[in-house]
């Protein structure tokens, strides 16, 4: 099944518990948490207290995407919040050795560990050993930092590269896409090897609010 990951950044934060409870019976989804520190990206979102609150009001898997300068700090401090998948940015590390060290450390604490790349970061910049270790590769199809951006068309070539790499080297990580995902491009994304789609505005801003319908429209 294709996993759909609604991005909480687009929800109604004044009614967050009601919003999240509306997803209780939906299968095959994760809640995507965009953690931004105001340094790695210019925006600042939420941190430990809200993540703990979210865990307390939903049983859905939590998928935390850390757009932060110091991922090692968050690997340590989020370990007790029931995070299912912990993703951090390749660009936040100081080279291949540190990248591998952080992946290995995160894998001792989280069921699933991912790495993410910005639109201008090539797949070729990721060491082979990382591909053997990760459970997920998050491809940003917009510049990280703000929601509601349009999909960057150059992402298609990157997805083709990843799809061929997985086939050639018999790799088994999930490919997640984040940015500008909607019912107009979801089918093509899946055809290009994506099996985990992050969507924020498309799901939470739809009227009338029928989250299951929005999610299923991305799987068709």
Query: In Å, how far are 54, 121, 141, 152 from 148, measured between CA atoms?
Result: 22, 21, 12, 12
Q: Which of 37, 63, 135, 178 is catalytic?
A: 178
Identify the CA nearest to 79 among candidates 59, 100, 107.
Answer: 107
**Does the annotation mark 178 as catalytic?**
yes
Q: Are strands 3-6 and 196-199 parallel, antiparallel or unpaired?
A: parallel
For 75-112, the three-class secondary structure string (H helix, E strand, C coil) is HHHCCCCCCCEEEEEHHHCCCHHHHHHHHHHHHCCCCE
Identify the CA nearest to 83 among candidates 119, 116, 117, 47.
Answer: 47
Q: Are strands 62-67 and 85-89 parallel, antiparallel or unpaired?
A: parallel
Q: Determine the Cα–Cα distance for residues 209 and 22; give it in Å rounded to an integer.
A: 10
**Does the annotation mark 157 as catalytic?**
no
Q: Which of 24, 34, 135, 172 is catalytic?
A: 34
Active site residues: 34, 178
């Amino acid at each position: 099944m294709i996993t759909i990951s609604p991005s909480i950044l687009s929800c109604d934060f004044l009614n967050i518990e009601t919003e999240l409870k509306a997803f209780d019976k939906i299968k095959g989804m994760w809640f995507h948490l965009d953690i931004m520190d105001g340094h790695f990206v210019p925006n600042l979102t939420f941190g430990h207290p809200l993540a703990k609150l979210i865990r307390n009001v939903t049983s859905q898997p939590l998928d935390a995407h850390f757009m932060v300068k110091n991922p090692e700090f968050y690997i340590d401090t989020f370990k007790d919040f029931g995070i299912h998948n912990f993703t951090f940015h390749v660009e936040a590390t100081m080279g291949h050795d540190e990248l591998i060290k952080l992946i290995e450390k995160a894998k001792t604490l989280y069921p699933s560990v991912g790495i993410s790349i910005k639109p201008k970061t090539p797949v070729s910049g990721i060491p082979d050993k990382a591909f053997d270790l990760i459970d997920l590769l998050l491809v940003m199809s917009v510049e990280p930092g703000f929601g509601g951006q349009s999909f960057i068309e150059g992402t298609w070539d990157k997805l083709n590269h990843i799809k061929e790499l997985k086939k050639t080297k018999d790799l088994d990580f999930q490919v997640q896409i984040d940015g500008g995902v909607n019912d107009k491009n979801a089918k093509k994304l899946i055809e290009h090897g994506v099996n985990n789609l992050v969507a924020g505005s498309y799901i939470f801003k739809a009227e009338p609010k029928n989250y299951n319908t929005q999610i299923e429209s991305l799987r068709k």
